[in-house]
A = this chain, B = another copy of it.
Amino acid sequence: MSLLIVGTMAFDALETPFGKVDRIIGGSGTYAAWAASNYTSNTKMVSIVGGDFPKEEIAALEARGVSFDGLEIVPDEKSFFWSGKYHMDMNTRDTLVTDLNVLARFDPKIPDSYQDAKYVMLGNLSPAVQISVLKQLKSRPKLVIMDTMNFWMDVAMDDLRTALSMVDLLMVNDSEARQLSGEYSLVKAAKKIQAMGPKYIIIKKGEHGALLFHGDKIFSAPALPLEDVFDPTGAGDTFAGGFIGYLTRIDDISFESMKAGIIVGSSMASYCVEKFGPTRLKEITADDISARVDEFVALANFEVR
């Protein structure tokens, strides 16, 4: 099976209570592709970068089975740049700089070589871009998941509604689920969002784990309690990439498989936050992921006699 990822490839400047970096590789597509590459060697990237984006970063992902036929390189312009500062609780952050650069003109063209993708992840981009990608696919994929954020609810709600009506699964955090639905209760929020289109909703709660909703079924995944979160940047995209990479590998979209995918995605995200940017994500092996999955089993397992 093959996986199509649409997301940013970018530079980030990050400041956390543990330190700062002025320029490190980032972007939702980057994190998702690294995570997914642990489970599939057939990932097709759709993104846009400037002439400043390091060729060796692209080569490193190619070596993990990621195709870049759908990457647009604009030689004379700069890559997307984001700068943010995290507060002590690591759940809130201030955006210091957002330089769209090449992202402002992102109008993805899906190559013919990508048309066989059965699994699709739409990273957090403008809903118009997300819709354009889906419209270019000649056959309906088996699973389309999308990320979004409060910004698009504020400035592009009509497009966002259209995008939601076209996807199978929406992945948002708890405050975004509340804003999108107008409901405080996450159970009610998930029902309202399901009525907008996606039959599956994953609500990410940071240090409190994640919830998966489908019809009347709910799965509550714990987060691994960590002594330190060094840098939370990319944890959500790593989670999403690990989730859909796992489903692509086993080619099954049952509720039970999605539960497993969430644990796999959470395991990778728990590594991601250990170092700045995707540094740690690039280091981990299948054995590391398997060991972390075992920690999740020990953490969540119980039996009532």
Contacts and interface: CB of A to CB of B under 8 A. Distances in A.
A218 B89 contact: no
Contact of A225 (B220, B221, B222, B300): B220
A187 B226 CA distance: 6
A304 B221 CA distance: 13
Contacts of A187: 225-227
A302 B185 contact: no
Copies of this protein chain in the complex? 2
Contacts of A250: 305
A211 B223 CA distance: 11
Given A184-B89, A222-B220, A226-B185, A300 B299 contact: no
26 contacts: A89-B184, A187-B225, A187-B227, A188-B227, A208-B209, A211-B225, A218-B299, A219-B299, A219-B300, A219-B302, A220-B222, A220-B223, A220-B225, A221-B302, A222-B222, A222-B300, A256-B302, A259-B301, A259-B302, A259-B303, A260-B303, A260-B305, A263-B302, A264-B304, A300-B300, A300-B302
Interface of A: 88-89, 184-188, 205, 208-209, 211, 217-223, 225-228, 250, 256, 259-260, 262-264, 293, 297-305
